Chain A
Amino acid sequence: MPLVEIQDLKVRFRQYGGTIEAVRKISFSLDAGESLGIVGESGSGKSVSCAALLRLLPATADVTAAKLMLDDVDVLSARKGDMERLRGRAAAMIFQDPMSAFDPVFTIGHQISETIRAHRTVTKSAALKEARELLERVEIKNAADVLAYYPHQLSGGMLQRAMIAMALSCRPKVLIADEPTTALDVTIQAQILQLIKKVQAEFGMALIMITHDLGVIAETVDRVLVMYNGEVMEEGPVAQIFDAPRHDYTKRLLASLHTKFEPSRGDADAAPALQLRGLSKSFRIRRRRGLFTEYGAFDAVRDVDITLPHNRIVAVVGESGSGKTTTGLMAMRLTEASAGEILVDGKDISSLSPEAMRPYRKQMQIVFQDSYSALDPMMTLTEIIAEPLVIHRIGTPRERTEKALAWLERVGLDRSFGSRYAHELSGGQRQRVAIARALILEPKILVADEPTSALDVTVKAQIITLLKDLQAELGLSMLFISHDLSTVKSLTDSVVVMYRGRVVEEAPTERIFADPRHPYTRALLDAVPATNPRDKRERSFLSAEEISAATPRMTVIQTGLAPHPDPQLVTIAPGHRVEAIVTA
């Protein structure tokens, strides 16, 4: 008897008289202890199916199925009270954004013990004791303290651990993980995945892993369901899906993992297009003390040197909070640097007035991460793409429109899109428009700030290809800011690794992937999800203290530098620099 059995599930949402079909006739089953992955892009219906299994959909949803069984209970006809008993005990869920999954006004301890007490008659103190043990099992070290914390006092990774502890509290038979790592940083993501696998084995649960990320699938599950547009495209053992995909969509999905590009033709040794020298940014933070305000400084970026040669692509990688985006914004002078120089073709632009900046604005442009907010919703696409020409007073209105339409074609969209508005486009199409706007003035330098992180995998590959093609065509020098190391590996010429506002390692791309020297770079590379289930591996994770303890140490003789207690960048090979402590 399978634990979960779904046959011909259909979900429709009623909206303003019409209906939207979210899930069209899907069937699958799950046995006790099994791991099933459901992979698909946003809107494929993967989350809706699992919410339907626990009857968590809003009242506007029409759910029909030939069979919808969870742990031998017919979910469609179960009474309210039976459903409440089923939830948490037969199946528990963990969600994408741990920050919004906890009630902000109760402590973590309260929320876990309340779950225990909803299903079993135990005293409050016994429930709290159990909550503490659960927190320890999900590898939270100061579990006793965490019990008394409110959600906002914990980091995203810690909250996701607490969320897992809460899901485990009623010993569920199946754990449904809905994009559990999407909102987290790469290294944290790898840790959480490993933790989920560990507790699955320890508690002997079945697992449904819902994700858009094939890497997550490769790491965690035995069997895979590929969904697209509310339907199941393909189903099979994980090895078969990766090695011998049958459906076109699955093939496209897999192909997007392995994109390869020609290296850029630029010369690394020629005069650089853009050079950042000693760039720093510190924010004032206010600390209230009674009537008075004290100011402290928070160094978001400390003393960063980056060189971007002509016609090359340099990656800046790091996790959230590493200062990589701030560095990109400072290079564009969208955020003022606290110190340092920004050299464009050898000329320092860091203190030019807005008027004096105008000619440089034509030469350097930026593409942002979020394609939703990148386009003014009140303007047509032609107006958006032509805006740079308007601002720089280039050409007549007719010429501007013509040029904008030409660029629309150049980024792969039909001219007929010109009169449309941003809301009519998909995420990938919007990002194409944003690229057209950035490049219409034919700049020399392009800062691409995570241009694909909000896009679905297949679209992501297309946008990267487009960027690469245009880079080669226009001879762009591109600063590619990203946390996605697999894209970085295939696209860029050299990599700068940032950690806590500093550059910790810098090297040609091949070299950094082959021979990482800094412990943080290694941790980052180690956390990259496998692209094939065969490459699954155990990982070791380093805490911040461990990383700083493992900072390379070198002698004066090796480096030719004066000894210093603070780490500094040391050149260890041509173009390869790493942060190290120089000792006598």
Chain B
Amino acid sequence: MLGYILRRLVSVAVTFIVVSLIIFLMMHSIPGGPFDANDMPVSEAVRAKLMAQLGLDQPLYVQYFRYMWGVLHFDFGVPYQSPGETVLQLLSRAWVPSLVLGGLGVLIGAPLGILLGMAAALNRNSWIDYIASALATLGLTVPVFVTSMLLILIFAVWLNWLPASGWPDPERWILPVAAYAAIPLATYARYTRAAMLDTMSRQFVTVLRAKGLSERRIIFQHVLRNSAIPLVTVFLPMFIGTATGSIFVEAMFRVPGLGAYFVSSIEVRDYPLEMALMLMITFMYCIAYLLSDVVYALINPRIRIGGAE
């Protein structure tokens, strides 16, 4: 088991390095930097000095290694858009709203999604199944800003129950949390339903019935336990959805979180901040991958005990 985790760690690390390299090259190879003649009319000498100061005159690979060396020491440089602080300081300020709202969204959405998926699977082809499927498709395919917009139009504009901006007071959190929750809810509802239906069609369920076990015991012990295994793999898509959703949720509800900074850093070509955000997100994915693989291996006796290879 330890060996398995170590092997996954190595492969995740390699993926991370390759992605960081690609992002780095992409950002530096396309013409137009932050001190483009068009964007910032300064004299040639001043620009050269600025470039030298920021290390932008060095060959690319030197810049990359220098940068990654810094990253290892949590030094992501200074953001262009707010030169008074380091990237790390800016991020440590910005992650609070994102984590609070996103975390609440997942904590509320995921259990609701699992319950909804179970209800749908147990009452197949009933109205609850149709509603669950519709909600799941809606949450998974329609962009978050559309869901957010609908929430705002209904609850803030027409009913006037809740404020349309989502920070800082807790009552303002309701709408953004609801928007965030849409993704885990949809993901878990869909996968729980599929996993349970798949399990219920397996032969061993017939055997359990033939043994005279009660339907309740079959569902709550055997079917749920078997369905839980594939559900672990859902963790990742849900995570991806929630993290990318943050950009739009924060833009819609004017929340000063990571997503908002991502948007502004892209608008003003703030290399250090952009790079730091992309690296962080990629890093979180790698960890999410690793976690879901390890948990999957832990709860699946076929992998945990082996002997089936």
Direct contact of A and B (CB under 8 A): yes
Interface residues of A (CB under 8 A from B): 51, 54, 56, 80-81, 84-89, 92-93, 95, 97, 100-106, 114-115, 118-119, 150, 152-153, 166, 170, 288-291
For A119, give its contact among B204, B206, B212 (CB under 8 Å): B212
B211-A88 in contact (CB<8A): yes
A105-B4 in contact (CB<8A): no
13 of the cross-chain contacts (CB-CB < 8 Å) are A56-B206, A81-B214, A100-B203, A101-B207, A102-B207, A103-B222, A105-B225, A105-B300, A106-B222, A115-B212, A152-B305, A153-B307, A291-B3
Chain A residue with minimal CB distance to B228? A105
Separation of A153 and B202 alpha carbons in the complex (Å): 19
* Shortest distance between the CB of A90 and any CB in chain B (Å): 9
For B229, give its contact among A97, A105, A290 (CB under 8 Å): A105
Q: Beyond A97-B203, A105-B226, A288-B7, is A87–B305 a contact (Cβ under 8 Å)?
A: no
B212-A86 in contact (CB<8A): yes
B72 within 8 A of A: no
Contacts of A153 in B (CB 8 A): 305, 307-308
Q: Beyond A152-B301, A152-B308, A290-B6, is A103–B210 a contact (Cβ under 8 Å)?
A: no
For A105, give its contact among B6, B215, B301, B308 (CB under 8 Å): B301
B202-A100 in contact (CB<8A): yes
A104-B3 in contact (CB<8A): no
B6-A166 in contact (CB<8A): no
Contacts of B49 in A (CB 8 A): none
Q: Beyond A103-B204, A104-B226, is A87–B302 a contact (Cβ under 8 Å)?
A: no
B212-A89 in contact (CB<8A): yes
Separation of A289 and B305 alpha carbons in the complex (Å): 15
B207-A88 in contact (CB<8A): no
Separation of A148 and B33 alpha carbons in the complex (Å): 65
Contacts of B93 in A (CB 8 A): none
* Shortest distance between the CB of A52 and any CB in chain B (Å): 12
A88-B3 in contact (CB<8A): no
B211-A118 in contact (CB<8A): yes
Separation of A354 and B194 alpha carbons in the complex (Å): 45
Main secondary structure of the interface of A (DSSP, over half): mixed
Separation of A185 and B60 alpha carbons in the complex (Å): 65
Interface residues of B in 4-50 (CB under 8 A from A): 4, 6-7, 10
Contacts of A81 in B (CB 8 A): 214
A115-B4 in contact (CB<8A): no
Separation of A291 and B8 alpha carbons in the complex (Å): 9
Separation of A85 and B7 alpha carbons in the complex (Å): 50
Separation of A289 and B6 alpha carbons in the complex (Å): 10
Contacts of B214 in A (CB 8 A): 81, 84, 118
* Shortest distance between the CB of A118 and any CB in chain B (Å): 5
Chain B residue with minimal CB distance to A289? B3
* Shortest distance between the CB of B239 and any CB in chain A (Å): 25
Interface string of B286-309 (1 = CB under 8 A from A): 000000000000001110010110
B284 within 8 A of A: no
Instruction: Please count how many residues in chain B sit with their CB below 8 Å of the partner chain's CB atoms.
Output: 30
B153 within 8 A of A: no
Main secondary structure of the interface of B (DSSP, over half): helix
Contacts of B222 in A (CB 8 A): 103, 106
* Shortest distance between the CB of B279 and any CB in chain A (Å): 25
B203-A115 in contact (CB<8A): no
For A93, give its contact among B202, B204, B210 (CB under 8 Å): B210
Given contacts A87-B210, A105-B226, A152-B307, 17 further A-B contacts (CB under 8 A): A80-B215, A84-B215, A88-B211, A93-B207, A95-B203, A101-B207, A103-B225, A104-B301, A106-B225, A115-B212, A118-B211, A118-B214, A150-B305, A152-B308, A289-B3, A290-B3, A291-B7
Contacts of A103 in B (CB 8 A): 204, 208, 222, 225-226
Separation of A115 and B307 alpha carbons in the complex (Å): 26
B4-A288 in contact (CB<8A): yes
B211-A115 in contact (CB<8A): yes
B209 within 8 A of A: yes
B217 within 8 A of A: yes
Contacts of A95 in B (CB 8 A): 203, 206-207
B159 within 8 A of A: no
Separation of A101 and B211 alpha carbons in the complex (Å): 11
Separation of A289 and B7 alpha carbons in the complex (Å): 10
Separation of A56 and B6 alpha carbons in the complex (Å): 46
B204-A101 in contact (CB<8A): yes
Chain A residue with minimal CB distance to B225? A105
B146 within 8 A of A: no
A290-B2 in contact (CB<8A): yes
* Shortest distance between the CB of B295 and any CB in chain A (Å): 14
For A84, give its contact among B4, B7, B212, B226 (CB under 8 Å): B212
Separation of A84 and B209 alpha carbons in the complex (Å): 8
Contacts of B207 in A (CB 8 A): 93, 95, 101-102
Separation of A452 and B196 alpha carbons in the complex (Å): 37
B54 within 8 A of A: no
Contacts of B226 in A (CB 8 A): 103-105
Chain B residue with minimal CB distance to A153? B307
B154 within 8 A of A: no
B212-A170 in contact (CB<8A): yes
Separation of A101 and B208 alpha carbons in the complex (Å): 9
B6-A291 in contact (CB<8A): yes
Contacts of B268 in A (CB 8 A): none
B281 within 8 A of A: no
Contacts of A106 in B (CB 8 A): 222, 225
Separation of A104 and B220 alpha carbons in the complex (Å): 15
B134 within 8 A of A: no
Separation of A449 and B300 alpha carbons in the complex (Å): 36
Contacts of B213 in A (CB 8 A): 84, 114-115, 118
Chain A residue with minimal CB distance to B301? A150
* Shortest distance between the CB of A1 and any CB in chain B (Å): 22
Top 9 A-B pairs ranked by shortest CB distance? A88-B212, A87-B212, A290-B3, A100-B203, A93-B210, A152-B308, A150-B301, A88-B211, A115-B211
Q: Beyond A105-B225, A106-B222, A152-B302, is A92–B210 a contact (Cβ under 8 Å)?
A: yes
Chain B residue with minimal CB distance to A102? B204
A291-B210 in contact (CB<8A): no
Contacts of B225 in A (CB 8 A): 103, 105-106
Interface residues of B in 137-164 (CB under 8 A from A): none
* Shortest distance between the CB of A169 and any CB in chain B (Å): 8
* Shortest distance between the CB of A173 and any CB in chain B (Å): 13
Chain B residue with minimal CB distance to A115? B211
Interface string of B221-259 (1 = CB under 8 A from A): 010011001000000000000000000000000000000
A150-B302 in contact (CB<8A): yes
B211-A92 in contact (CB<8A): yes
